[in-house]
Amino acid sequence: MEIILQKNVIKAIKSLYNEDVNPEQILVQATRKEFTGDLTVNVFPFIKQVKRSPEIAAEEIGKYLKENLDIVDSYNVIKGFLNISISSEYWLKGLYENKTETAVKKETVVLEFSSPNTNKPLHLGHVRNNLLGESLARILLADGFDVKKVNLVNDRGIHICKSMLAWQKWGNGITPETSGKKGDKLVGDFYVLFDKEYKKQQEELISQGLTKEEAENKAPLILEAREMLLKWENDDKEVISIWKMMNRWVYAGFDITYRNLDISFDKIYYESETYKLGKDTVLKGIQSNVLIKKSDGSVWADLTENKLDEKLLLRSDGTSVYMTQDIGTAEMRYNEYKPEKMIYVVGNEQIYHFNVLKIVLEKLGFDWAKNIVHFSYGMVELPEGKMKSREGTVVDADDLIDEMVATAREMSTELGKLEDFSSEEKENILRIIGLGALKYFILKVDPKKNMVFNPKESIDFNGNTGPFIQYTYARINSLKTKADDEGILEYKQYPAGITPNDKEISLIKMLRQFESVKKESAQKLSPAIIANYAYDLAKEYNQFYHDFIILKESGELRNFRLYLSEQTGRIIKEAMWLLGIEVPVRM
RNA sequence: GGUUCUGUAGCUCAGCUGGAUAGAGCAACGGCCUUCUAAGCCGUAGGCCACAGGUUCGAGUCCUGUCAGAAUCACCA
């Protein structure tokens, strides 16, 4: 509709002033609430060309539009702004049009997210990553992309060796079964234990006169861990078997967390299976003189011409680093899917890493490297700052989910809801609500910004929240159920004698926006745009619901309002789906 | 020190490619359940959009500088 108006403004200018203007000069936007009208044309961008004062030009164009466009009902001019009212009939028709054109692009996008390390359980930071990843996948899918969700499990490296070593030294053969602990938690405990003992050794060495850096590199524990990594890369039987066992524990733990968050993947890569390819590629890079081998055997990429430093790709002992395995993974992934785009959902702390990755891949001759997109999101912080695992301030993912559901339960009991439900149904609804609160809380903020989470205040269930939107849906659903009970079934036809009121029109307008909101969120890779839209829509509907009677109305008006409600519910549900949030039929 | 990101109400966040008098929620205060779900609706109060310049008809938005916070610049991942 904006486009129709835009074209006609161009026509108007041509016929009134005999001037040609570009479409970009015609700004059509929604009229602000304080003014009457639906759409506003701003005359300033072309005011010089038409040689009129803003008021006169706006007035003349408005007059032209009213005479030549039947959808234009009336207009008014304030300063240089031409506010146009679209006929309510046009809005009403729009609501009843069934437009189901699904844009099919079928370009493949590989979307990597989650990417946990196997040495500790998932925490709030990972939760943000997972929720963003899952939501982006759905948003891109809805925009017509063929999305492959992939997870890259970081199952090798020095960090795993630390947990393994600690378990070997102090674990006394403990397992998840004997301890009753979730596997990822148990392994995480040993990682923390390693760090504690390692710190002790460092302090000891520092007191003997070593510098901090020397102490970090000479502590017996770290030497043992490095040795273990070397053994691992040389397929040492014992090391491999501990590694397999402990990873198995971790995966069992992760599976539970993923399931609780409704996260799934099309494909899981393991770095233990991709790093060798990376190593090979790096070695080839030396032969073709793209990379440098130093006298101690370490391999580097010289990035000084890109205004960056030198970057290590293989250690002097021949073992690979993070970058090495990411090269291999990217290559493997590209060969497997030949995607148009590879998106990595990884925190903003790794911006530098991905810059380097792209440059190195390009140097190595992979022209698809330019299609790599690092979707970098901000950190989740506590009111007192960053989460520190060593200080025990990490917010554990499983605990957080449990707390959210518990809060939902308290609220529900207090409000006296859900009393007539079976316990099974009730639990499911509480899960939907608790999880909805958590997911919405995280997804509504602009991904690139850091966000603050206050565990003491816990997440709200009122106001701009997931449950607010879910509640709106439940209300609508309840209307439909009641309509059903009363035998109101034929309500979907165009209502002949109805003139929608202002609130109804603004609801219809908002529903129309959904398509462009979806597109925008896909282009900008931002679930927050969907989240904020869903909230605005729910708020608008609640006002409508409060101010007007729906089912107790009669005839066409009742049918129209019921239909309008149903459409709102449908879009709320779809918007929430795009966020990975379920909506309950009752709450 | 270099690079990147952020700075909007007491708190948590919106603010579309520059557009009219900067918006929500929470917290505070005051109203609304004999009518479809009050997890709701309405109202009051709360702002030098970090600061200073610049670009122009017009700047929270773009440019430059300053200040503050964060991340990163590892033979960690």
List the domain boundaries for chain A.
2-86, 108-381, 397-579
Distance CA A473, CA A464 (A): 14
**Closest nucleotide to A77 by C1' from CA:** B20
Residue–nucleotide distance: A382 CA to B53 C1' (Å): 36
Distance A271 CA to B4 C1' (A): 28
**Assembly ipTM:** 0.95
The predicted structure's pLDDT at residue A425 = 92
Tens digits of per-residue pLDDT, A118-162? Answer: 998 999 999 999 999 999 999 999 999 999 999 999 998 888 999
Residues recorded for chain A:
587
Report pLDDT digits (tens) over A480-513.
999 999 998 889 889 988 899 989 999 999 999 9
Please give the torsion angle defined by the CA atoms of residues A550, A552, A556 and A561, in that order, rounded to the nearest 10 degrees: 10
CB atoms within 10 A of CB A421: 15
A340-360: buried (b, 16+ CB within 10 Å) or exposed (e) per residue?
A: ebbbbbbbbebeebbebbbbb
A492 touches strand B (CB under 7 A): no
Question: Which nucleotide in the DNA or RNA is closest to residue A78, CA to C1'?
Answer: B20
Q: For residue A349, which nucleotide's C1' is closest to its Cα?
A: B71
| DSSP annotation of A548 | S
Give Dmax (Cα) for chain A: 92
Token digits of residue A189:
């405990």
**Residue numbers 446-475 of A with CB closer than 7 A to any atom of strand B:** 446, 448-452, 454, 460-465, 467-468, 471, 474-475
Any idea which nucleotide's C1' is nearest the CA of A297?
B75
Rg (CA), chain A: 30
The single-letter DSSP state of residue A87 is: P
Proportion of chain A in helix, strand, coil states, percent, rounded to 5: 60, 10, 30
Instruction: Specify the CATH number of the domain A108-381.
Output: 3.40.50.620
Residue A386's nearest nucleotide, by CA–C1', is: B70
CB of residue A53 closer than 7 A to nucleic acid strand B?
A: no
- How does pLDDT run across A276-309, given as a tens digit for each residue? 999 999 999 999 989 999 999 999 999 888 878 8
Report whether A469 contacts A498 (CB < 8 A).
Answer: no
Strand B contact residues in chain A (472-491), C-beta within 7 Å: 474-475, 477-479, 482
Average pLDDT over residues A171-187: 95
AA letter at A89: E
For domain A397-579, the question of CATH label 1.10.730.10 is answered with yes
Which window residues (116-175, chain A) lie with Cβ within 7 Å of strand B?
A: 117, 154, 157-159
Our measurement of the distance from residue A162's CA atom to the centroid of its chain's CA atoms, rounded to an integer in Å, reads 32
Evaluate whether the domain defined by A2-86 bears CATH number 3.40.50.300: no
Q: Is the pLDDT of residue A47 over 70?
A: yes
Q: Is the minimum distance from the CB of A114 to strand B below 7 Å?
A: no
DSSP β-bridge partners for residue A108:
A146
Same topology between domain A2-86 and domain A108-381: no
Closest CA to A146 of A110, A102, A113, A108: A108
| Lookup: tokens for A503 | 């609130």
In angstroms, the CA A26 to CA A344 distance is 37
Q: At residue A450, what are phi and psi to the nearest 5 degrees?
A: -65, 150
Q: Distance of alpha carbon A284 from its chain centroid, rounded?
A: 37
Is A559 within 7 A of strand B by CB distance? no
What pLDDT is stored for residue A101 in this prediction? 64
Q: Which nucleotide is nearest to A470 (CA to C1')?
A: B39
Which residue is closest to B42 in terms of CA–C1' distance? A543
Question: What pLDDT score does A82 carry?
Answer: 92
CB A143 within 8 A of CB A117: no
Q: Which of A543, A510, A256, A544 is nearest to A398 (CA)?
A: A256
Residue entry with tokens 């639906």: A38
